[in-house]
């Protein structure tokens, strides 16, 4: 079903069994796979590719016990130019993905999320609401980015990394005053299976080793490891972001 009020460029390729609601805009050269649902007002700019069984522009449901989901009017989902969305993804209304973002299969991106250009969101990644992710970030398979997090440009988050935002683990109303996810400063890197406690800041160009539990802020340009983490040594000069050929402020 395609609404008569949708604006779809003549060059767009549409798959089978799709649903496109009113006021959707799809610009030239986009490819829409089979069984895709595009909710009203969604904006898809030129050259985007949307794979099978994906839902774009979904409104969030608020559970009765939800502490950070806010019932409010959200702006339309907006996909920048040449964005690729994999199969079986759910991208919520109120998210904004910049040009050349790549989202792997089975990923979920909530409302009030901004993602910078050329960033990669891996297979099965969950990005919760009120999160900002910069440009040229890579978040790998099955990482969990909790609500109220910030990831600056050029960061790397390995598979199975978990961010947290609630030191009270769901107990007491007092906890709601202190919700805060992690902040990764520019160029920070997090190793596989690490856990980042609420409100932690990982400094610029810092590296958290695999399997670590981060319970305190991490200084810039330091390698930390362990549970809880301790400073191990400086990040080698040749690994610093400023010395990489692809780095461009």
- Taking only the tens place, the pLDDT of each residue in 136-194 is 999 999 999 999 999 999 999 999 999 999 988 888 888 888 899 999 999 999 999 99
**Whole-model pTM?**
0.94
- Asked, for residue 140, whether it belongs to a domain, the answer is no
CA atoms within 13 A on the CB side of 47: 9
Strand-pair category, 229-234 with 222-226:
antiparallel
- In a domain, residue 213? The reply is no
Q: Looking at the domain assignment, is residue 168 inside a domain?
A: no
CATH code, 19? 2.160.10.10
For the residues of 89-156, what is the DSSP string, one character each?
-EEETT-EE-TT-EE-TT-EE-SSEEE-TT-EE-TT-EE-SSEEE-TT-EE-TT-EE-TT-EE-TT-E
Q: Which residues contact 22 (CB under 8 A, 6 or more apart)?
A: 3, 5, 6, 40, 41
Segments of the chain scoring below 50 in pLDDT:
none
DSSP H or E segment with residue 178: none
232: CB partners within 8 A, 6+ apart: 209, 222, 223, 224, 225
Instruction: List the beta bridge partners of residue 222.
Output: 234
> How much is the pLDDT for 72?
81
Number of domains in the chain: 1
Range of the domain at 25: 1-60+74-135
- State the pLDDT at residue 64: 61
């Amino acid at each position: 079903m395609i609404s008569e009020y949708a604006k779809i460029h003549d060059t767009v390729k549409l798959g089978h069994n799709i649903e496109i609601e009113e006021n959707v805009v799809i610009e030239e050269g986009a490819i829409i796979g089979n069984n895709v649902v595009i909710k009203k007002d969604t904006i898809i700019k030129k050259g985007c590719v949307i794979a099978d069984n994906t839902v774009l522009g979904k409104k969030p449901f608020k559970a009765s016990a939800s502490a950070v989901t806010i019932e409010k009017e959200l702006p339309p989902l907006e996909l920048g130019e040449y964005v690729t969305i994999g199969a079986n993804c759910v991208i919520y209304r109120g998210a904004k993905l910049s040009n050349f973002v790549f989202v792997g299969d089975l990923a979920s991106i909530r409302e009030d999320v901004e993602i910078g250009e050329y960033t990669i969101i891996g297979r099965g990644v969950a990005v919760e609401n009120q999160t900002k992710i910069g440009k040229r970030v890579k978040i790998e398979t099955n990482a969990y980015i909790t609500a109220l997090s910030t990831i600056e440009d050029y960061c790397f988050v390995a598979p199975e990394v978990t961010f947290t935002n609630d030191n009270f683990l769901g107990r007491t109303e007092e906890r709601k005053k202190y919700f805060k996810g992690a902040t990764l400063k520019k160029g920070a890197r997090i190793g596989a299976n690490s856990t980042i406690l609420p409100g932690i800041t990982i400094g610029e160009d810092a590296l958290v080793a695999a399997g670590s539990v981060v319970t305190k802020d991490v200084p810039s340009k330091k390698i930390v490891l362990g549970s809880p983490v301790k400073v191990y040594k400086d990040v080698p000069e040749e690994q610093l972001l400023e010395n990489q050929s692809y780095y461009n402020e």
